[in-house]
Amino acid sequence: MLNRSICGLLLTLAMAPAQPLAIRGVTVIDATGKAAQSGMTVLVERGRISAVGPAQQLKLAKNTKIIDGRGKFLIPGLWDMHTHNNSRRYGGGPKDDLFPISFPLEVANGIVGAREMKGPGNANEWRQEEAKLPGPRPTIWLGSPLTDGPNPTWPDSKVIKDAAEGRAWVREQKQNGAAFIKVYSKLSRESFFAIADEARRLGIPFAGHVPNFVLAEEASDAGMKSMEHMYQIALSCSRREEELFKAELAGAGLSATLIGASESFDPAKAEALFQRFIRNGTWQCPTLTVLRSTGAMDDPKFTNDARVKYIPESFLKTWDPTATMSGLNDVQLKARRIQLRVAMDLTGRMYRAGVRVLAGSDSWNPYVFPGFSLHDELALLVEAGLPPMAALQAATRNAAEWMGTLPERGTIETGKIADLVLLDGNPLVDIHNTQRIAAVVLRGELLDRKTLDSLLEKAVQHE
């Protein structure tokens, strides 16, 4: 069987237009960390970046399609590293899920790839179906189905009862082509550590929620490659960690744990935990966007969002705040109010300590919009303390490094896949300028503003 990088190369070459493309006179923000370079030309041939250099020094073939980049800014294509497009039924193919709705919204927002955190039962079969879907689409980095314990949070999860089942599941998902194992909140300690050990043995990453029965430092030591939503991290930064963890295991609940941890924050414990993450190569995907939404869904100013026109009415009903907020007690409501503040504080601290950060939206959760909300996430990362370049890298270079595809993706450098976004404003001056998209280059194919607008128009019709 061909490995994923070779398959990706063949797909890129098969889809690449024959006519060369040059973006001339543009300011390049290559996401390597170097300063922006003005007056550059980026040449694209057969789906790859074939040259990057001063405009006057590059010689172009006569049949080259030239895009005037003067006054514009070129960044690598964006990756949303936490999406839930496969959310209608466990094991479903693309036609049964939300991918066909999400694809145009993501591409129109400059998102060239997404890490799918709730994959189908068989990733290999899904990819064969996905290849038949019409229209431009991002590259999907496909995880396993949600892997949870007894009484799972979501009924379509894969339930793991013990260590033996956990190991067998990892082997099955590796065979079925999953790019990583998605672990979830109610896994037992025995099952979690068995999954971690088997994943390490087979060389497949595991990522997701730090389970309720496991401490963040234990999950990191076990090899967890990325942690989502900051779950359990505040607890491990608390001077009352042992006491609060025992209460949590006894049934006090995660909301009470978060409140207690936020009131007993210990900077020294936090720094020790962050250094552990760095040593272990544990990344963080804070998904600040979804944490904001869960605490603001009873605020009409928040829920009165014009972007709801892109969400099918049948799905929008599940976002009704009266349903999502009803039944919460005072402790749960308080925890929802403070979780974004706590997560933003921890995100800034972890970045300054050197912990690696990914940008993910957790799309299709209430008021987390496919495509659009990744830009919200970048703005929240900057608000949390990341410089605009670091926030941009969280959705470009860092994403590629986490996936092990940095030689192919993530920066604007010669030889890499031509996934690019042309902007009308400088995102290093104002990160909100990532939303001012003039054009997208998707695997070498130019999608101009008119084409992107047509994708959005089609999305409104939910076709």
Above 60 in pLDDT, residue 1?
Answer: no
Q: How confident is the model at residue 14 (pLDDT cuts 50, 70, 90)?
A: very low
362 Rama sector, left if φ>0, alpha if ψ -120 to 50, beta otherwise:
left
Above 90 in pLDDT, residue 158?
Answer: yes
Tens of pLDDT, residue by residue over 209-240, are 999 999 999 999 999 999 999 999 999 999 99
Tens of pLDDT, residue by residue over 166-214, are 999 999 999 999 999 999 999 999 999 999 999 999 999 999 999 999 9
Lowest model confidence (mean pLDDT) among 78-87, 110-119, 376-385, 389-398: 78-87
Q: What angle do CA 441, 446, 451 make, to 5 degrees?
A: 110
The residue count of the chain comes to 463
Beta pairing, strands 437-442 & 420-423: antiparallel
For residues 120, 125, 126, 127, the Cα torsion angle rounded to the nearest 10 degrees is 140
Q: Residue 416: what residue type? A: K
Identify the pLDDT of residue 463.
54
- Whole-angstrom CA distances from 373 to 231, 363, 462 are 20, 7, 18
**Residue 414, CB-side half-sphere exposure with 13 Å CA sphere:** 5
- Across the range 16-33, mean pLDDT stands at 91
Above 50 in pLDDT, residue 7?
Answer: no
Q: Which two tokens stand for residue 134?
A: 């019409």
Identify the pLDDT of residue 57.
85
Is residue 389 within a helix (H) or strand (E), and if so which, with residue range? helix 388-394
Identify the pLDDT of residue 90.
42
- Say if domain 78-403 classifies as CATH 3.30.70.100: no
Buried b (16+ CB within 10 A) or exposed e, 240-264: bbeebbeebeeeebbbbbbbbbbeb
**Residue 148, CB-side half-sphere exposure with 13 Å CA sphere:** 17
| CATH classification number, 4-76+409-460, choose in 2.30.40.10, 2.40.128.110, 3.40.190.10, 3.50.50.60 | 2.30.40.10
H helix count then E strand count, the chain: 19, 17
Identify the pLDDT of residue 134.
85
The answer to whether 163 touches 190, Cβ cutoff 8 Å, is yes
* Percent of the residues in the chain that have a pLDDT greater than 90, as a whole number: 81
Identify the pLDDT of residue 371.
98
Q: How far is it, in rounded angstroms, from Cα 333 to Cα 354?
A: 32
The answer to whether 342 touches 230, Cβ cutoff 8 Å, is yes
Alpha helices, DSSP H only, in 354-387?
Answer: 372-384
Above 50 in pLDDT, residue 84?
Answer: yes
CATH 3.20.20.140 residue window(s) in the chain: 78-403
- Report CA 160 to chain centroid distance, whole Å: 25
The answer to whether 354 touches 278, Cβ cutoff 8 Å, is yes
CATH 2.30.40.10 residue window(s) in the chain: 4-76+409-460
Of 456, 403, 444, 341, which is closest to residue 77 (Cα–Cα)?
444
Q: Which two tokens stand for residue 369?
A: 């919009």
Of 68, 70, 73, which is closest to residue 22 (Cα–Cα)?
68
Identify the pLDDT of residue 462.
67
Identify the pLDDT of residue 178.
98
